């Protein structure tokens, strides 16, 4: 056996650069790095040596670097990923939120945080967490529950087995998620004679498991017997590349499709079987179908509570659940009948099994009525007035300025719900919403990841003033990288979405909008000025006409920011479903007591079904 002498960090980097996907691309397209104590010497030197083959990018925050990587993987349909390396201590723990986001969304992400010395001679080192009862713990153990695979590398030769395991997890359609290899800093620099075959180029093929024959028969029988079936399309449809198969399946068999946040755009908005978004932020057309459905067919969805209306949405007492999912954990939720397989294969084989079967059509007029309601709230006002634009009007203006190549991205706050309801997605890949973890701060980082994954697309990022304040540093990164996208900042003076939820549960307006918080100096943040200071081109408006003019004036070059003052209270009244948010059982406020009565009635109705 021939060997090559490399440090642990050099071996890791050389292995990464030789792992490819079936398209011939490196599976790890590059590494995001903030160097510091623990990774600057080992990983820094190794990445410098591979810089002409494996690019290294520098961000401004470890969490947002990992968000960029997650967005890149999501937009790449999990066929490519990125790695992130950090220092020991704060750099490493900054990854926890981002790892949780990737875990919830089933996205491949390679995390390479530095760790304490394996040899322990200098303990305790700078930034080291000391657990009094366990000498093996470090700050990186916070990443265990949010990693699909976790390994602490305490000897360089452990990489020989750890690295294939890491890539196996990231390329497994069922177990896909973040991988953490905690790299002890002395091990990064320690040399070992590695077998040269370890670094031979390898292609990772993402498997497409076929359905079990008996499960397939049962699934086909359930569909034939259903009088009012509905398909809930989730993110798994995109990851499996099953959008065309879904369109062909429902066209042949007449089953209406409703979409989760992750599944939206699986069908173009004007497809005859597309009945819109489902659940708490759903359309009246989709939710009406789900309320009466006797067969709920989950397709690549994990049945999050926003999708199911906290399981209050499905009101047919004879309803049954059939879940087609590559992950048995998701397929078996709520005791549904399972069809564990790849989404595309499953649809193609179900299509063959069903023959010429066609489901009864949904009630007429549902789609037309919904689009009429959506158009009513997104249309531009006839004349400008002193009234602030609503988020719906902002969406309408951006929609009218967008084309089929536009990708909209958002993550948390008011806009996700309104976009889910109102945005008319042109087709697969045109709608990018992180709502599995609903993580504030994902948006700008996400826009970077999308543009890196899909550079030809027109990327429009929606963010609110609250989330912009939470994580805006990567705006400077995007400018320095020469990326082109549009950032829409809706300034509603704080956390408008959660303020409305506070009011809806009987609470007083408190600590959400800036005007309802105790500040000595009133807030007067110049978001356009701040974005300009970081190198973007920015304008500010308080009218829909001004927004439309700013959109029309875009050059498509660099980061262009449009700040829009907006109404924090207005929301789309049409559509929607109940959401289980516990209301206090005891309160001195009459509004809370009244909200508690409504809450108890809704939970009792849900629990009786």
The tens digit of pLDDT for each residue in 301-313 reads: 999 999 999 999 9
Distance CA(428)–CA(424), nearest Å, equals: 12
Distance CA(136)–CA(125), nearest Å, equals: 14
> 287 CB contacts (<8 Å, ≥6 apart)?
278, 279, 309, 313, 575, 576, 577
* DSSP 3-state of 463: strand
CATH class of 213-364: alpha beta
Both tokens of residue 407?
């990708």
Say whether 213-364 and 3-204 share the same fold. yes
How high is the mean pLDDT of the chain?
A: 96
Average pLDDT of span 402-407: 97
- What percent of the chain clears pLDDT 70, i.e. is strictly above it? 100
Both tokens of residue 495?
């956390």
Handedness of CA 240, 243, 245, 250 (dihedral sign): positive
Q: Does domain 3-204 have CATH number 3.40.50.970?
A: yes
pLDDT band for position 314 (cuts 50, 70, 90): very high
Both tokens of residue 573?
């009244």
Distance CA(39)–CA(456), nearest Å, equals: 34
The tens digit of pLDDT for each residue in 105-122 reads: 999 999 999 999 999 999
Average pLDDT of span 549-565: 97
HSE value, Cβ hemisphere, 13 Å, CA-based, for 544: 25
Does residue 283 register a pLDDT over 90?
yes
Q: What pLDDT, on the 0 to 100 scale, is given for residue 522?
A: 87
Specify whether the CB–CB gap between 454 and 392 falls below 8 A. Answer: no
Does residue 385 register a pLDDT over 80?
no
Q: What pLDDT, on the 0 to 100 scale, is given for residue 383?
A: 73
Q: What does residue 408 show for φ and ψ, rounded to 5 degrees?
A: -100, 140
> 16 CB contacts (<8 Å, ≥6 apart)?
26, 28, 31, 54, 83, 110, 163
Does residue 609 register a pLDDT over 80?
no
The tens digit of pLDDT for each residue in 219-232 reads: 999 999 999 999 99
HSE value, Cβ hemisphere, 13 Å, CA-based, for 231: 31
pLDDT band for position 518 (cuts 50, 70, 90): confident
pLDDT band for position 384 (cuts 50, 70, 90): low
Q: DSSP code of 134?
A: B
Domain boundaries, the chain: 3-204, 213-364, 374-565
Specify whether the CB–CB gap between 189 and 41 falls below 8 A. Answer: yes
124 cis-preceded (ω within 30 degrees of 0)? yes
The tens digit of pLDDT for each residue in 432-450 reads: 999 999 999 999 999 999 9
Specify whether the CB–CB gap between 86 and 34 falls below 8 A. Answer: yes
Instruction: Report the chain's terminal Cα–Cα distance, integer Å.
Output: 65
Look at residues 163, 104, 147 and name the one whose alpha carbon lies nearest to residue 306. 104
Q: What pLDDT, on the 0 to 100 scale, is given for residue 547?
A: 96
Q: In angstroms, what CA-CA distances link 143 with 133, 377, 541?
A: 19, 43, 42
Specify whether the CB–CB gap between 52 and 78 falls below 8 A. Answer: no
Helix runs in 364-441, H state only? 366-378, 391-400, 414-422
Average pLDDT of span 83-101: 97
- What percent of the chain clears pLDDT 90, i.e. is strictly above it? 96
The tens digit of pLDDT for each residue in 461-513 reads: 999 999 999 999 999 999 999 999 999 999 999 999 999 999 999 999 999 99
Query: Which CATH number among 2.40.50.100, 3.30.70.920, 3.30.420.10, 3.40.50.970 corresponds to the domain 374-565?
Result: 3.40.50.970
HSE value, Cβ hemisphere, 13 Å, CA-based, for 432: 35
Q: What pLDDT, on the 0 to 100 scale, is given for residue 162?
A: 98
pTM score: 0.97
The tens digit of pLDDT for each residue in 168-195 reads: 999 999 999 999 999 999 999 999 999 9
Distance CA(227)–CA(255), nearest Å, equals: 10
Q: DSSP code of 119?
A: S
Q: What pLDDT, on the 0 to 100 scale, is given for residue 344?
A: 98
Q: What is the 3-state secondary structure (H, E, C) of 277-296?
A: ECCCCCCHHHHHHHHHCCEE
Does residue 515 register a pLDDT over 90?
no
Distance CA(326)–CA(209), nearest Å, equals: 7
């Amino acid at each position: 056996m021939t060997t090559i002498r490399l440090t642990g960090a050099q071996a890791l980097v050389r292995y990464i650069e030789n792992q490819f996907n079936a398209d011939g691309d490196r599976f790890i397209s590059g590494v995001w790095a903030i160097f510091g104590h623990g990774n600057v010497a080992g990983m820094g030197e190794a990445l410098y040596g591979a810089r002409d083959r494996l690019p290294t990018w520098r961000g401004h925050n470890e969490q947002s670097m990992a968000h960029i990587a997650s967005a890149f993987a999501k937009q790449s349909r999990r066929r490519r990923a990125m790695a992130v390396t950090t220092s020991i201590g704060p750099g490493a723990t900054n990854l926890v939120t981002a790892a949780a986001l990737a875990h919830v969304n089933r996205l491949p992400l390679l995390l390479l945080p530095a760790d304490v010395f394996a040899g322990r001679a200098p303990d305790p080192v700078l930034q080291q967490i000391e657990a009094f009862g366990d000498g093996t713990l470090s700050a990186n153990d916070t990443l265990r529950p949010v990693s699909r695979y976790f390994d602490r590398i305490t000897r360089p030769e452990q990489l020989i087995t750890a690295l294939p395991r890491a890539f196996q997890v990231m390329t497994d359609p069922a177990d896909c998620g973040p991988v953490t290899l905690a790299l002890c800093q002395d091990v990064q620099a320690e040399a070992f004679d590695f077998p040269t075959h370890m670094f031979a180029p390898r292609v990772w093929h993402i498997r497409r498991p076929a359905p079990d024959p008996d499960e397939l028969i049962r699934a086909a029988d359930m569909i034939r017997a259903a009088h009012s079936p509905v398909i809930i399309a989730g993110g798994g449809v995109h990851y499996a590349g099953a959008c065309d198969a879904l369109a062909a399946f429902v066209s042949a068999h007449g089953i209406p499709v409703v979409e989760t946040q992750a599944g939206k755009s699986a069908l173009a908005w004007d497809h005859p079987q597309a009945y819109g978004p489902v659940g708490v932020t759903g359309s009246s057309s989709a939710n009406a179908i789900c309320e009466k459905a006797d067969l709920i067919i989950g397709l690549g969805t994990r049945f999050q509570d926003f999708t199911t209306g906290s399981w209050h949405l499905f009101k047919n007492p004879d309803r049954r659940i059939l879940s087609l999912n590559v992950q048995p954990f998701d397929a078996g939720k709520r005791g549904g009948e399972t069809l564990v397989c790849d989404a595309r294969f499953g649809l193609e084989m179900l299509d063959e099994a069903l023959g010429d079967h066609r489901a009864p059509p949904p009630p007429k007029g549902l789609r037309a009525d919904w689009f009429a309601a959506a158009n009513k709230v997104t249309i531009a006002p006839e004349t400008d007035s002193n009234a602030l634009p609503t988020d719906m009007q902002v969406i309408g203006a951006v929609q009218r300025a967008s084309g089929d190549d536009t990708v909209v991205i958002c993550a948390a706050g008011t806009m996700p719900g309104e976009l889910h309801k109102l945005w008319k997605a042109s087709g697969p890949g045109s709608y990018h919403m992180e709502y599995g973890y609903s993580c504030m701060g994902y948006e700008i980082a996400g826009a970077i990841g999308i543009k890196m994954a899909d550079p030809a697309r027109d990327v429009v990022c929606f963010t609110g003033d609250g989330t912009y304040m939470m994580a805006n540093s990567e705006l400077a990164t995007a400018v320095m990288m020469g990326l082109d996208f549009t950032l829409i900042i809706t300034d509603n003076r704080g956390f408008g979405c959660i303020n409305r939820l506070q009011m809806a549960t009987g609470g007083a307006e408190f600590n959400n909008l800036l005007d309802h918080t105790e500040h000595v100096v009133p807030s007067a943040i110049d978001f356009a000025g701040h974005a300009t200071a970081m190198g973007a081109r920015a304008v500010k408006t308080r009218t829909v006409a001004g927004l439309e003019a700013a959109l029309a004036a875009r050059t498509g070059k660099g980061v262009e920011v449009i700040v829009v003052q907006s109404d924090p209270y207005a929301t789309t009244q049409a559509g929607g479903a109940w959401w289980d948010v516990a209301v206090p059982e005891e309160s001195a406020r009459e509004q809370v007591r009244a909200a508690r009565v409504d809450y108890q009635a809704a939970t009792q109705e849900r629990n009786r079904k």
